[in-house]
């Protein structure tokens, strides 16, 4: 009996979760992942080049890292689905995607300049 209870406890511990009401930051990051997944599907169906696909993968992983870093047990797919469909208004959709891309680009530029500074410091 105790073994059964221990097994049940082990199997039921830390299931994947979806927040009932995500914070604005989490909601934004989940929306960016959702937008990225739509873009990945469109790019794949259009046969976009490998460089574009790699950039989109990095973009997706950036936002997945933000979400999983904040909530490691989150069920990403269910959390994204729970947000509902993307904004119906084309301008709202464009603003969402542009905001996600701008943040990703800004972080990329910061990392690039940091890498350059580190490299410059390592030169004799």
Domains of the chain, by residue range, sit at: 22-122
Query: pLDDT, tens digit, for every residue of 97-124?
Result: 999 999 999 999 999 999 999 999 998 8
Nearest to 79 by CA among 39, 33, 38, 35: 33
pTM over 0.85: no
The residues that bridge with 93 in the sheet, in sequence order, are none
Whether 3 shows a pLDDT value over 80: the answer reads no
CB atoms within 10 A of CB 69: 9
Query: pLDDT, tens digit, for every residue of 49-62?
Result: 888 889 999 999 99
The residues that bridge with 17 in the sheet, in sequence order, are 74
pLDDT band at 21 (very low <50, low <70, confident <90, very high): confident
Q: Please state the rounded mean pLDDT for residues 65-86.
A: 93
* Whether 59 contacts 104, CB under 8 Å: yes
């Amino acid at each position: 009996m105790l073994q059964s209870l221990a097994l049940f406890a082990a199997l039921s511990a830390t299931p994947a979760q979806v927040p009932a009401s995500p914070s604005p930051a989490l909601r934004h990051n989940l929306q960016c992942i959702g937008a990225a997944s739509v873009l990945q599907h469109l790019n794949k169906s259009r046969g976009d080049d490998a460089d574009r696909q790699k950039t989109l993968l990095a973009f997706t992983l950036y936002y997945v890292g933000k979400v999983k870093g904040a909530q490691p047990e989150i069920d990403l797919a269910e959390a994204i689905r729970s947000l509902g469909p993307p904004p119906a208004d084309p301008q709202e959709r464009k603003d969402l995607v542009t905001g996600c891309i701008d943040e990703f680009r800004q972080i990329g530029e910061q990392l690039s300049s940091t890498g350059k500074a580190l490299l410059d410091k390592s030169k004799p």
